[in-house]
Amino acid sequence: MLDSTYIALIPVIPAISFLLIALVGRRYFPKLCGIAGTLSLLVSFLLSSVVACQYFFEVGKVEGVYQKIIAMKQVWLQFAPGVSIDMGILLDPISVMMIVIVTFISLMVHIYSLGYMKEDTRISTYYSFLSLFTFSMLGLVLSTNIFQIYIFWELVGVSSFLLIGFYYDKPSAVAASKKAFIVTRFADLGFLIGILILSYYTETLDFRTLIARLTTDGSYLSSIISASFIGCSALTWGLILVFIGGAGKSAMFPLHIWLPDAMEGPTPVSALIHAATMVVAGVYLVARLFPVFSISCPEALNVVAYIGIFSSLFAAVIACTQTDIKRVLAYSTMSQIGFMMFALGVSGYGGEKGLGYMASMFHLFTHAIFKALLFLGAGAVIHYVHSNEMNDMGGLRKNMPVTHITFLLACLAIAGIPPFAGFFSKEEILLAAWNSNKFIFYVAIITAALTAFYMFRLYFSIFWNKEFKPAHVNDNGVKETSSHKNHEGGISMLFPLIILAILSVIAGFVPFNRLVTSDGVELNTEFHLSFSIAPVLLAIAGITIATIFYRKQNNLPQKFSNSLNGFYTAAYKKFYMDELYLFITKKIIFNCVGKPAAWIDKYIVDGAINGIAGITAIFSDLIKIVQSGKLQDYAIYFISGVIGLVVLVIYWKF
Amino acid sequence: MNEIGLTHILVISTLLFFIGVYGFLTRRNMIIMLMAIELILNSVNINFVAFNKYIYSGKLDGLFFTLFITAIAAAEAAVAIAIIINLYRNYKSIDINDADSMKY
């Protein structure tokens, strides 16, 4: 049987390491903080691997079905008997998969940061934030109830905010962290209302009970469906609101605007939080409530599917035009998460129909690996070039051979070229889409081709295109020739790249159909070779076009973008989403809501307070004349008082 | 009419008391105010002695109180004069109206 204490240790160890580094280490052992954080993560990773092995191969399966096991449950906030918020640990295939992937990517990022952040003076603060994030993320995936997930949801939001704004002396980083926080908070409001609606009707917060009550016919289900608001049932509203929370965290259109800006944080953080783990929390949330979406409320699932496919295409188009390499990767992340979302959206529950669910989780798994690799590789490049712009790069393949090879492998993986990891998961997703919704399928393969194109555009622009001229200009204005002895950073930076590259190649062979499925039963999918031909050919076409355009410096891209003039500019400007948001907030919300509210606050609320204070002041002006400071005046008051009392006592008949 | 009774003494004591109060309220010189306080205290003393003699003759309580008040008045005079000296050092004046820094 599983020993619950060491499962509990998996999230607790990073929490302890956060407290130790933040409270003690930061002041007394700043040099050791990185090592300490990395070691604690290593322990956590080993523990979660052990738990995963035990769960998947020993205790998880009962009669061929993976069970949901509550390994630990602690009543935490009790409002009344039976009404409480609990803290617990829920083990099921997706949470076990997530703890492994979170601790693994986090470990890789910790090791990488030892090299990447070496020269930063606030490295101890950085590691404490990383530990806080890892703790919150693990707590999130292990949550047993919807309120616990919300608590950790906010905690990952906070750590994301802290890490985006890590370079707080850069105004753009500060703005980006505020933007990320406000946008995701806005989405979390939807999530909270969704939680309240769902738990109000089902009278529980616990996932298992909630899912059971909402998927079987009974008084709970009929009451939540019969309650309706603007044409939709309360169930649909609740699920859509929960999905809005997930869409905010996972950067789905139209709440995606924070993700590209979040790239202001240190690059390893982008790899960990804004590519591999935190941003898939929205997918995880939908997957967690998937039976409810799928069985009781297909309308909400359709919303998930269409938002997912739209975001995916939208982001892929933008990614083709960006020149900041981290932004390209950010839009690519958004596009891939769109894939996961619509895969959930087209999926059904149980059996063959559950293919989309399995594919989505599979893609989440493989994407975490190769996207972390892409970001860490981009980090190495940025570390070397000291710039995020494609124009400053080119021809780096000779200078950074290891980064070059690993980056190429990751690009092949994300483009879906067999036999790399991305191929398998993407094929499953496309197959699921083909089986249920042809329209989504066609958009998806176009997006897949675009993915191949923009990834190889990125790859060729960084490593081929033109000769690399180091543009280091030192303080005297003299161009330095690159004088680094070790071009690619130390072993701590190369080691994670190599490990992740190996995994990007082999992760596709993990038998996901047997491990992670919607209902826990093994799902048999046969591999259709004929089906894969079209997507792979499209991906190869995308790569070929990218090769023609960007392998050597030429004016083809320029000509092509000129021929698409208006559309290209729009995509380059991210379809004016930021401007649209600014217009809505500044012009409409500020003028129509903000200003009247400010007026009421200033003249009515403040006016009432100031009025009371003013009246008091007038009275005090009247009274204070008595306080003359002259002793004899006081003596007169005193004596007249005494005389008055005497008169009262003598002449007043009591 | 030829015998001095309690009433006579009380009349004297009342006069003395109000002379003291009047002096305390109208004089600006702090020393004079202190003297006015002594008048008030002594009018009380006279009351004590008179009541002791006419009402509780044979007891000594009133007399002892009088002695107490005399002793305390002496101590109080010493403290008050010390205060007045300190005020004089600060304000260069013993006019009570100059020491009005406790005004609102």
Residues A389, A161, A156, A428, Cα dihedral to 10°: -30
Task: Report the C-alpha gap between A653 and A263 in whole angstroms.
Answer: 88
Q: Name the closest residue on chain B to residue A634, using Cα atoms.
A: B25
b (16+ CB within 10 A) / e for A472-497: eeeeeeeeeeeeeeebbbeebbbebb
Q: Name the closest residue on chain A to residue B22, using Cα atoms.
A: A636
Contacts of A101 (CB under 8 A, 6+ apart): A276, A277, A364, A365, A368, A369
DSSP A31-77: TTHHHHHHHHHHHHHHHHHHHHHHIIIIISEETTEEPPEEEEEEEEE
Task: Report the C-alpha gap between A283 and A101 in whole angstroms.
Answer: 14
Task: Report the C-alpha gap between A162 and B85 in whole angstroms.
Answer: 65
DSSP A530-550: HHHHHHHHHHHHHHHHHHHHH
Angle value at C-alpha A478, between A474 and A482, nearest 5 degrees: 65
Which among A629, A635, A639 has CB closest to B101? A629
Contacts of A116 (CB under 8 A, 6+ apart): A266, A267, A268, A379, A383, A489, A493
Which among B25, B97, B102 has CB closest to A635? B25
Contacts of A162 (CB under 8 A, 6+ apart): A129, A132, A177
Assess whether pLDDT exceeds 60 at residue B66. yes
Q: Please report the pLDDT score of residue A642 as a whole number.
A: 92
Task: Report the C-alpha gap between A514 and A66 in whole angstroms.
Answer: 10
- Give residue A361's region: left, alpha or beta (phi > 0; psi -120 to 50): alpha
Beta partners for residue A83, in sequence order:
A80
- How far, CA to CA in Å, does A115 sit from each of A162, A491, A493, A538, B38? 21, 8, 6, 38, 90
Q: Which residues from B are below 8 Å from A when comparing CB atoms?
A: 21, 24-26, 96-97, 99-104
Low-confidence residues of chain A: pLDDT under 50: 473-486
- How far, CA to CA in Å, does A305 sit from each of A299, A340, A436, A441? 10, 9, 11, 11
Task: Report the C-alpha gap between A194 and A297 in whole angstroms.
Answer: 14
Q: Is the peptide bond before A254 cis (omega within 30 degrees of 0)?
A: yes
> With contacts defined as CB-CB under 8 Å, which chain A residues touch B97?
630, 632
Q: Name the closest residue on chain B to residue A626, using Cα atoms.
A: B104
Residue A566 tokens, joined: 């208006």
- Residue A48's nearest CA partner among A122, A105, A87 is A105
**In one letter, which amino acid is A392?**
D
pLDDT cut 90: percent of chain B above it: 65
Per-residue confidence at B67, pLDDT binned at 50, 70, 90?
Answer: very high
A143: helix, strand or coil: coil
Q: Is the dihedral of CA A370, A371, A374, A377 positive or negative?
A: negative
ipTM for this prediction: 0.85
Query: Are B101 and A624 within 8 A, CB to CB?
Result: no
Residue A444 tokens, joined: 């998806």
- Residue A129's nearest CA partner among A172, A96, A166 is A166
> With contacts defined as CB-CB under 8 Å, which chain A residues touch B104?
624, 627, 629
Query: Are A628 and B103 within 8 A, CB to CB?
Result: yes
Interface probe, candidates A630, A633, A634, A643, chain B, greatest B C-beta count within 10 A? A630
Per-residue confidence at B43, pLDDT binned at 50, 70, 90?
Answer: very high
Please tell me the distance in Å from B3's CA to the nearest CA on chain A.
29
> With contacts defined as CB-CB under 8 Å, which chain B residues touch A636?
25
pLDDT, averaged across chain B:
90
> With contacts defined as CB-CB under 8 Å, which chain B residues touch A635?
24-25
Q: How far is CA A508 from the centre of its chain?
A: 23
Sequence ranges of the domains in chain B: 6-92
> With contacts defined as CB-CB under 8 Å, which chain B residues touch A631?
96, 99
Query: Are A631 and B25 within 8 A, CB to CB?
Result: no
- Residue given tokens 């989504």 in the structure block: A440
- pLDDT (tens digit per residue) in A366-418: 999 889 999 998 888 888 888 788 777 777 877 788 888 888 898 888 888 87
> With contacts defined as CB-CB under 8 Å, which chain A residues touch B102?
627, 629
- How far, CA to CA in Å, does A509 sit from each of A256, A374, A566? 32, 20, 43
Query: Are A631 and B99 within 8 A, CB to CB?
Result: yes
Q: Please report the pLDDT score of residue A560 as a whole number.
A: 75
Task: Report the C-alpha gap between A390 and A325 in whole angstroms.
Answer: 6
Q: Are strands A232-233 and A228-229 parallel, antiparallel or unpaired?
A: antiparallel
Please tell me the pTM assigned to this model.
0.77
Query: Are A630 and B104 within 8 A, CB to CB?
Result: no
Query: Are A632 and B25 within 8 A, CB to CB?
Result: yes
Which among A624, A627, A630 has CB closest to B97? A630
Q: How far is CA A205 from the centre of its chain?
A: 23
Burial class (CB in 10 A: 0-12, 13-18, 19+), A205: buried
A585: helix, strand or coil: helix
Task: Report the C-alpha gap between A426 and A367 in whole angstroms.
Answer: 10
Q: Name the closest residue on chain A to residue B28, using Cα atoms.
A: A632
Task: Report the C-alpha gap between A302 and A315 in whole angstroms.
Answer: 20
Task: Report the C-alpha gap between A154 and A125 in whole angstroms.
Answer: 20
> With contacts defined as CB-CB under 8 Å, which chain A residues touch B103?
627-629
Query: Are B96 and A627 within 8 A, CB to CB?
Result: no
- Residue A304's nearest CA partner among A330, A338, A278 is A338
Please tell me the distance in Å from A650's CA to the nearest CA on chain B.
17
Q: Name the closest residue on chain A to residue B99, using Cα atoms.
A: A630
- Residue A361's nearest CA partner among A295, A443, A275, A424 is A424
Task: Report the C-alpha gap between A481 and A469 in whole angstroms.
Answer: 8
Task: Report the C-alpha gap between A178 and A359 in whole angstroms.
Answer: 34
Q: B6-92 domain in CATH 1.10.287.3510?
A: yes
Query: Are A630 and B25 within 8 A, CB to CB?
Result: no
Q: Name the closest residue on chain B to residue A630, using Cα atoms.
A: B100
Assess whether pLDDT exceeds 60 at residue B1. no
Which among B25, B103, B104 has CB closest to A636? B25
Task: Report the C-alpha gap between A305 and A302 in whole angstroms.
Answer: 5
Is the CB of residue A408 less than 8 Å from the CB of residue A516?
Answer: no
Query: Are A624 and B25 within 8 A, CB to CB?
Result: no
